[in-house]
Structure 1
Amino acid sequence: MIAAVPVLGLLEPPLGGAALIAALVAVWRAKAWPKAGKVVTTVAAMALLGAVLPDRPKDAAAGDAPRPPRAKAAATAVPTAKSSPTPTIPPLADYRGQSLETAFDQARKAGFLVHQHDASEKDGFVRGRSRWTVCFQRTGWDGRQPTAEFGVVLNGSPCPQRDGDPVPWPKMPDLVWKTWRTAHTEVAALGVRPDRIKARAAYLNDTLPDEGEYDDWRVCAHDPAAGVAVQPDDYAELRLTAEKNGCPEGDRGVGTGARLPDRDEDGDPDYRDPYPGDRNRTSAFPNGRPGSGGSGGSGGSGGSSDGSGGGSGWSPCRHTRWC
């Protein structure tokens, strides 16, 4: 068996090594062999195998045997889940400035799921589509169908600069000393309804002439005051005076409780009283008040002031301040 070791080593070195190990195991387990003989046999077998083994390459002996090249990993694409194509959102007409009712109906007919919201800073509840106007719009997709979102304000309101900003209501200008005609035009241009713009005499004892006859009267004060935000449903009151009378001193632009001069205290300011010294005759009663008996100086002379004399029997002076 020992003789077969070098033969097998010539044919196949690994096989020779295996034969050497098997032969040595058999020798050392055999009881017939003395220990010295076993040692000699082991050395001889190893020498024979070493003599027939081929020399190792130099680079292998140095421990630099090149490693077999790695097979290049095949560039295989990792399968990924197919992404759904981005849906194409159909075009939406521009409804800004139009009624929400119109925008809502037309967008739904075009296949959109429609939403709306208050575009002002109040972010209130939108009720009654006919009462709202579109300021902003945008489109999107909710996974099933295209969507349209409208930002709206109440009819007559200006649109905010950006969605969610305060509504930029116009501010009342300074109208003091402008004519009624000019001031009325400016207030109406703010969106205030013309029937809510009122005229009033600036002096307590003055009255306005018939409509159309005070177009050139001047504004002494107004409410709302200059700089106050004005909305369409607001009322505006302009306090007027004839230009020759001017505005009450010290209260210009604020309003007043002042009175115009009235020497005979008949309630008719001197500037329009044809009889400033006769309290019985006024612009309304140039021939004297009924029952006064006509002109008779500041106190009247044609009849009793209390109606008890020989007058007509009826007198407006009874229990009044006129007499």
Structure 2
Amino acid sequence: MAVVLLLLLLRSCGDDCDDAASTPNATLTITATPSPAGSQVGKSVESALERVRQTGLSVVVHDASDRDEKPGGDWTVCFEMATLSKVDFAAVPDGAPCPKKDGQRIPWPKMPNVKGATYADAVEKLGDAVGAVTIEAAYEDEAAYDTNNEAGDYANWKVCFQSVKAGTRLAQEPDVILHAVEKDDACPSSKGLYKNPKYDPDYLDREYAEPDDGTSADDGSSADDGSSGDSGSSEEDYYPGDKGGCPPGGCYNPCPPGGCR
């Protein structure tokens, strides 16, 4: 506007224009007003800072949550407050939801309970709130593996266990492992069990008996039985040997203690 007025004045000055133009030390000042940067909500802090600095305004950025951390360039702008000379951005970490108001807690979503759901339904229900959703077999003697139901081979398997407990705040999109069984199978009571117990290394078949090697057999005889029956010894068949000796039961001595008279 100032430039337009100046041109109009120059055109209307007539013969005096040459004198005005030749006047020494004449200056012309044009003041430019910084152009607005536009809303930067939803953009990265790095991008927002660069855009505002191009306008000539000063800019600051702070944590939009209650954690009061130093924002990084990859954080996302949630709120902005601008004056004639400065813009103040409030941002949260990349991937985090914005709080309802500046300075409040980040409303992280909570882990839902997907037990009993099919693997395909669980993946859909978890959506973008988590990272990779991997399936593994709930029984140790079965195998299953897929991520985010990409292959689709286990889409109808039933979820028995989930690695992230229901109700847990899903900060930073954690990866989740779901342990499942085939559609019509029952879930094990706990992880680490075998569908067929015989595949368990610690399994002991009660119907299987070790072969008898004869060492534990009891034929009713004992060491004491050697003194009975024909196999026993008696005084009649006792042979003292070359060195002599008494028969079993001791030697017979007809003399009383003190000797015979």
Please say if residues 119 and 153 of structure 1, whose CA atoms lie closer than 8 Å, have aligned partners that are also in contact. yes
Please say if residues 201 and 208 of structure 1, whose CA atoms lie closer than 8 Å, have aligned partners that are also in contact. yes
The yes-or-no answer on 1:148 pairing with 2:87 is: yes
What is the TM-score with the length of structure 1 in the denominator? 0.47
Q: How far did residue 257 of structure 1 move?
A: 2.9
Which residue of structure 1 lines up, in the alignment, with residue 41 of structure 2?
96
Report matched runs for 1:75-114 at 5 Å.
91-114=36-59
Q: Relative to structure 1, is the Cα distance of residues 154 and 237 closer, same or farther in structure 2, using a 3 angstrom cutoff?
A: same
Relative CO higher for 1 or 2, CA cutoff 8 Å, sep ≥ 6? 2
Counterpart secondary structure, 2:188: coil
Which residue of structure 2 lines up, in the alignment, with residue 212 of structure 1?
152
Which residue of structure 1 lines up, in the alignment, with residue 65 of structure 2?
120
More helix by percentage: 1
Which residue of structure 2 lines up, in the alignment, with residue 162 of structure 1?
101
In the TM superposition, structure 1's runs of 4+ consecutive aligned residues that sit over 3 Å from their partners are 88-92
**Aligned with 1:222 (options 147, 162, 183):** 162
Tell me, in whole angstroms, the C-alpha distance in 2 between the residues paired with 1:232 and 1:241: 29
Q: Which amino acid aligns with 1:184?
A: V
Q: Which amino acid aligns with 1:236?
A: V
Tell me, in whole angstroms, the C-alpha distance in 1 between the residues paired with 2:52 and 2:196: 67
Please say if residues 41 and 78 of structure 2, whose CA atoms lie closer than 8 Å, have aligned partners that are also in contact. yes
Report matched runs for 1:1-323 at 5 Å.
91-127=36-72, 129=73, 131-140=74-83, 146-190=85-129, 192-193=130-131, 196-208=132-144, 211-249=151-189, 255-262=190-197, 265-266=198-199
Which residue of structure 1 lines up, in the alignment, with residue 254 of structure 2?
none
Q: How far did residue 111 of structure 1 move?
A: 2.1
Tell me, in whole angstroms, the C-alpha distance in 2 between the residues paired with 1:178 and 1:134: 37
Q: Relative to structure 1, is the Cα distance of residues 165 and 89 closer, same or farther in structure 2, using a 3 angstrom cutoff?
A: farther
Q: Which amino acid aligns with 1:259?
A: Y
Counterpart secondary structure, 2:83: strand
Counterpart secondary structure, 1:245: coil
Counterpart secondary structure, 2:178: strand
Counterpart secondary structure, 1:122: coil
Tell me, in whole angstroms, the C-alpha distance in 1 between the residues paired with 2:173 and 2:115: 22
Counterpart secondary structure, 1:94: coil
Q: How far did residue 89 of structure 1 move?
A: 8.8
- Structure 1 residue runs without a partner (length 5+): 1-87, 250-254, 268-323
Tell me, in whole angstroms, the C-alpha distance in 1 between the residues paired with 2:171 and 2:145: 29
Aligned length: 165
Please tell me the root mean square deviation across aligned C-alpha atoms, in Å.
2.3
Q: How far did residue 118 of structure 1 move?
A: 1.1
Counterpart secondary structure, 2:184: helix
- Structure 2 residue runs without a partner (length 5+): 1-32, 201-261
Counterpart secondary structure, 1:258: coil
